[in-house]
Amino acid sequence: MRVLGFGDNVIDRFVDRRIDYPGGNCVNFAVFAHELGIEAAYLGVFGSDEAGAFLRSELAAIGLDVSRCVVREGETGIAMVEVVDGDRVFLGGNDGGVTVREPILLTSEDLDYVAGFDLVHSGVYSATETQLPVLTDTGALVTYDLSSESRFRSPEYLDPLAPHLDLALLSCSHLTETETAATLRSVVARGAGMAIGTRGADGSLLFDGTALHRAEAVPLDAARPIADTMGCGDAFLGAVVCSLLQAGWRKGRTPSSDAIDAALSAGSAFAAEQCFTDGAFGHGRAIPEGADMSFRPSSTLG
């Protein structure tokens, strides 16, 4: 089994710790799949600056295939972060830098590469929307993170995209269980195969087009200090996807009810463990001398 993270990469700049961590939704997904024993790769645009070189080298050192990535002249995405009572809080950033401003447009050679994967993951902060239809043609499953923002749940945004998604992930901590269930049903009604809503300490819901599945959050070990919540949603999705793939989920083959319940449980456990990791997956370094520390409002932080 092979999975591909396709889209954003970013430096999560923790201003309170003065540490830079590698991150980005699609990078995190690939790294977590790799940690869970699935062969994983990342495809995206790196900035030509020193931060981009740092990201590229760290991902290669972890064991991700980054050979198809592109380096473009420009700055790496920076997300300014601080930790408040254990929760990561986004302060601002540069809207993903060159990665989002000039994303990859898949060539025939890229699509041949993608066809070698069982699943491709992307998300709303990757500027990959135009590429979803061609991803569908590769035969790979497509998962997509819709974040927590209402603008990504509108008919205008979802109607062109949902039919190309085998699984959509939505952050729903701000919604009641009833509201979450209704939101998931709406996403599937617009064409997605399945939809998951994560609700933090209140667990998660998954609608598979027929049944609504529920999973409780795994309680955190009170004896262990929480590092931060960076990457918890990505960890949850990574574990769910890996579990479903191992249970036989493929294009055109719907997972069984038991497989879905087991996957949600695996996701809850892995997400809970993620709370004890610094940054998304560690590999931090001191913020370079002279680095930009300004807090600019950003439209690409979820």
pLDDT more than 70, % of the chain: 98
pTM across the whole model: 0.95
Q: Would strands 285-286 and 19-23 be described as parallel, antiparallel, or unpaired?
A: antiparallel
CA distance 280 to 177: 27
| pLDDT per residue as tens digits for the range 29-59 | 999 999 999 999 999 999 999 999 999 999 9
List, in sequence order, the alpha helices (H) in the chain: 25-35, 50-62, 97-101, 108-114, 132-136, 155-161, 177-189, 232-246, 257-274
Say whether pLDDT at 298 is over 70. Answer: no
Domain spans, the chain: 2-282
| pLDDT per residue as tens digits for the range 96-114 | 999 999 999 999 999 999 9
Structure tokens at 98: 């060159």
Name the band, by pLDDT with cuts 50, 70 and 90, for residue 140. very high
| pLDDT per residue as tens digits for the range 192-226 | 999 999 999 999 999 999 999 999 999 999 899 99
CA distance 183 to 175: 9
CATH number 1.10.3720.10 is the correct assignment for the domain at 2-282 = no
Least confident of 47-56, 249-258, 286-295: 286-295
- Edge to edge, what strands does the sheet with 87-93 contain? 87-93, 78-84, 10-14, 19-23, 285-286
pLDDT more than 90, % of the chain: 90
Q: Please give the pLDDT value at position 252.
A: 86
Q: Would strands 78-84 and 204-207 be described as parallel, antiparallel, or unpaired?
A: unpaired
Whether 163 contacts 129, CB under 8 Å = no
E-strand stretches of 44-176: 45-47, 70-72, 78-84, 87-93, 119-123, 141-145, 167-171
Say whether pLDDT at 302 is over 60. Answer: no
